[in-house]
Every structure is written in structure tokens, then in C-alpha cells.
């Protein structure tokens, strides 16, 4: 019996396709598929009334969506976020990935929990400065998010940072960082379904951190 392809799980705090495609993970998915990887996408859908299916295969990607309302209030967010994180970590783990690519701090806790349980690499895309954004509404919550991020990145294998300023902070924490300055628009990319029979050179910024298993 042959070995299955390397399985990568992309973890998002929103849907990959709706209401519009998320460019960077979409680009990652296309590159990974060209490399022969099996790509799963796990998304937190905060609109429990969303008509999107909980599971589907779309453009060759295996999509799993979990519809859970975001907790409200400081106490609700503190308790509810922990509960949601545990649930999501178990769901991500059930996909049995060989590597996890997490986009944004909101899903990092669940990704790290799943990665540590499975003993697999976790890669972290720091698109936004979440602690700074949250602190605009609550300085206390901004501080909590900042401490949470610093704790969680200790278990991350590589960070992709949007800009050199943010990258310097992660380097000070002793992490390997790749700076990503932008991405092509979706109109410049071939459809994912074309990736099956296509082999193209990889952009240097998207060198795969996962090698095919023997």
C-alpha cells in the first residue's frame, strides 16, 4: 500500500470563500495542491444562521465549517473562548493533519492545542496586530491577548508576519519569521482545480515547510 499525501490543515476565523475569497490562504492552498498535498480548511463561522454547509469539497479543498456564535462580554469571552478553543482543537485534530497553518491570533490557541496533541508543526500567519486592535475597545482585553500571543508563539514552528515591524517583535521572542508584504489578486491566479495537473515554480516566499513523507 502506498502512503497518503501529506495533509495540511489551514485554520481560519472566517470562511475561505464567502462573502469573498481570502487571498493569502487561497494562494497557500493552490501552491500546496500543486505540490501534491491534501488540503483541509477549518473555519469558524460566527453566524449560526449561515446557509453554508458544514462540510463540503470545493475546488478540490476539503472544507469543514463550525458555526458557533462569538461569546459576548468580558466574562463570556473569557469562559466561552476557552470552551470554543477546546472544541475547535478537537475538531482540527480529528482531521489528522501532518501540519497546521493558522491564520490570525483568534484561532492560534486551538491550532497550538491540536498541534501539540498530534506533535506536528504549526505555522502562524500574523496578519493583524490583534492585541492592538482589541485594546481599542478594551485595554484589559488587549493586554490579555498580548500575553496570550506571547505564550502561544512559543509552540509555533514558524511565523509569517505582515511587515518588518511586526517581524522584529517575533524575532525578539526568538522565533523564525518570514515577512510577507502582500499577495497577488485572485484574478492573477489560476483556479485551484487547474492545480492537479500543473507544475510551476514556487514563489520564493512560499517555499514549503513540509517535506513529503517517505
Q: What is the CATH number of the domain that holds 78?
A: 3.40.50.2000
Would you say 102 and 124 are in contact if contact means Cβ atoms under 8 Å apart? Answer: yes
Instruction: Please check whether residue 157 lies inside any domain of the structure.
Output: yes
Q: How far apart are CA 168 and CA 204, in angstroms?
A: 20
Task: Rounding to the nearest 10 degrees, give the CA dihedral for residues 52, 25, 38, 105.
Answer: -90
Q: How far apart are CA 112 and CA 128, in angstroms?
A: 18
In this predicted structure, the answer to whether residue 25 has a pLDDT above a threshold of 90 is yes
Q: How far apart are CA 173 and CA 89, in angstroms?
A: 25
Instruction: Please check whether residue 108 lies inside any domain of the structure.
Output: yes
pLDDT tens-digit readout, 64-120? 999 999 887 666 666 778 899 999 999 999 999 999 999 988 899 999 999 999 999
pLDDT at 178: 93
Instruction: Please check whether residue 140 lies inside any domain of the structure.
Output: yes
Q: How many domains does the chain contain in total?
A: 1
pLDDT at 138: 66
Q: Per-residue confidence at 210, pLDDT binned at 50, 70, 90? A: very low
Domain of residue 144, residue span: 7-186
Amino acid at each position: 500500500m502506498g502512503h497518503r499525501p501529506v495533509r495540511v490543515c489551514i485554520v481560519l476565523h472566517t470562511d475561505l470563500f464567502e462573502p469573498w475569497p481570502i487571498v493569502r490562504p487561497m494562494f497557500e492552498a493552490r501552491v500546496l495542491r500543486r505540490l501534491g498535498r491534501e488540503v483541509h480548511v477549518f473555519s469558524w463561522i460566527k453566524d449560526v444562521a449561515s446557509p453554508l454547509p458544514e462540510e463540503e469539497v470545493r475546488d478540490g479543498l476539503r472544507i469543514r465549517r463550525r458555526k458557533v456564535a462569538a461569546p459576548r462580554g468580558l466574562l463570556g469571552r473569557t469562559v466561552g473562548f476557552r470552551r470554543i478553543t477546546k472544541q475547535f482543537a478537537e475538531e482540527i485534530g480529528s482531521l489528522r493533519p501532518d501540519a497546521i497553518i493558522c491564520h490570525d491570533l483568534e484561532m492560534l490557541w486551538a491550532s497550538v492545542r491540536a498541534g501539540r496533541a498530534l506533535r506536528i508543526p504549526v505555522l502562524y500567519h500574523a496578519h493583524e496586530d490583534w492585541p492592538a486592535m482589541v485594546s481599542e475597545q478594551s485595554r484589559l482585553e488587549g493586554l490579555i491577548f498580548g500575553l496570550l500571543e506571547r505564550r502561544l508563539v512559543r509552540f509555533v514552528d514558524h511565523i509569517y508576519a505582515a511587515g518588518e515591524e511586526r517581524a522584529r517583535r517575533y524575532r525578539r521572542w526568538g522565533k523564525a519569521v518570514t515577512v510577507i508584504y502582500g499577495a497577488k489578486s485572485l484574478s492573477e491566479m489560476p483556479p485551484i482545480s487547474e492545480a492537479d495537473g500543473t507544475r510551476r515554480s514556487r514563489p520564493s516566499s512560499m517555499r514549503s515547510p513540509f517535506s513529503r513523507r517517505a
